[in-house]
Structure 1
Amino acid sequence: MGSIVVQTFLTLDGVAQAPGATDEDGDGGFEHGGWQWGYDDEDTVRAWETRTSALLLGRRTYEIFANSWGVWDESAEGFQGELTRLYNRIPKYVASNTLGEVGWQNSYLLGPDVPAAVRRLREEAEGEIRVWGSTRLIRTLAEHDLVDEYRMMVYPLVLGTGKRLFGDGFPLSRLALVETRGLASGIVVSTYRRAEAS
């Protein structure tokens, strides 16, 4: 049986919107895209990704990933090449009400009943099914008690605006702290699991 693992970059005020690039997600007039760059987080992400057996993504995150990892050169040196090779080879499962097809290799639409599809996926999979970004999908998964673990990197930064991972109306979720540690840059890395699963 697989496990659904949410990994996310957050600011101190809980913003998860557009950490990776200036043009990643400007919804709501968000002007702080790319806020995550310049911190010492690569080793942590690299360690996390060695356990990834599949990606589970919402439409927008899927499109961002497909237009970056899906087209970048697999022979690139370092971290970018490593993740490009990994992401091209593992299955990608996409929750979308609007996409009719997905073009990135090894990508599959989940269909109209996302919770049921994710339950089946978790039953049939081995290893960690990674969720990046995809705040609407994460909320749906939490509403159906389908998130096994949250891995969060909290950056020493307050933006004051933007989409939050745990926004208003997020379902009650009791979690147990499994691990926490600080990085030299001030990032705090914490892992939480469902309280009854710890």
Structure 2
Amino acid sequence: MNDLIVIEFVTLDGVVEDPDGSGGTAGGGWAFRHGPEAVKGDKFGLGPLLDTGVLVLGRTTWELFSRIFPSRTDEFATRMNAIPKLVASRSLTRADGWANSSLIEDDLVTEVRKRKAHQDVLVTGSISVVDALAEHDLVDEYRLIVFPSTVGAGRRLPLPEDLRLISVERKGNGALLRSRKVA
């Protein structure tokens, strides 16, 4: 079985909502206040997973990324444009605004289980997708870039009680924490 890896930006107080400010929340934009080093390129250390895995996104994250990545040509953007993308949405009827994107036609959990049997699955942003997959115990690893900011309010990442720290690495003014669930 392959891994399902959740990748997120998070504040010290656990908020994952609106890291770039595009959501217009009161505390939004907190990740980008720390400079580009922590948010640019393959900051989550995905490496070959971008070539062999599949990316699962909720509608809001997919719409944001589909406006950002198609026009970029750097190495990371090229890989993000090439990776197969599955979009979980109840309102979209098409996902042709970004190369290699398709709507999940089956149930999210069923589709992810099928994919996970053959390849690694990456989920970024998309907290409601993370909620649903975590509820079904499908998340194997969390890669979180934690920023030295607190915003006080906002959506928080649902984390299991027992995680084992794999590594910590500085990423600009943030820290990449890799954790796996305890078996």
Decide: shared fold, TM above 0.5.
yes
Aligned ranges for residues 38-117 of structure 1 at < 5 Å? Answer: 38-39=34-35, 40-41=37-38, 42=40, 45=43, 47-52=45-50, 53-70=53-70, 72-74=71-73, 81-103=74-96, 104-117=98-111
C-alpha contact (below 8 Å) 2:5/2:142 kept by paired residues:
yes
**Secondary structure class of the residue paired with 1:142:** helix
Q: Give identity over the alignment, percent.
A: 33
**How many residues get paired?**
177
Segments of structure 2 that go 5 or more residues without pairing to the other structure are none
Q: CA separation in 2, counterparts of 1:68 and 1:142? A: 27
Q: CA RMSD in A?
A: 2.1
The residue type equivalent to 1:35 in the other structure is W
C-alpha contact (below 8 Å) 1:97/1:112 kept by paired residues:
no
Q: CA separation in 1, counterparts of 2:15 and 2:133? A: 19
Q: CA separation in 1, counterparts of 2:130 and 2:63? A: 17
**Secondary structure class of the residue paired with 2:57:** strand
The Cα shift of 1:110 comes to 1.4
Alignment-derived partner of residue 157 in structure 2? 165
1:151 to 143, 150, 170: 143
Q: CA separation in 1, counterparts of 2:67 and 2:84? A: 16
TM-score of the aligned structures, taking structure 1 as reference length: 0.80
TM-score of the aligned structures, taking structure 2 as reference length: 0.86
Alignment-derived partner of residue 180 in structure 2? 193
After the TM superposition, which segments of 4 or more aligned residues of structure 1 sit over 6 Å from their partners? none
Q: CA separation in 1, counterparts of 2:171 and 2:43? A: 13
1:31 to 4, 11, 26: 26
For residues 51 and 14 of structure 1, do their structure 2 counterparts lie closer, same or farther at Cα, with a shift above 3 Å needed?
Answer: same
C-alpha contact (below 8 Å) 2:44/2:176 kept by paired residues:
no
The Cα shift of 1:114 comes to 0.8
Deviations 1:99-143 (A, max 9, x none): 111112211111241101100011122xx4221100000000001
Q: CA separation in 2, counterparts of 1:84 and 1:184? A: 19
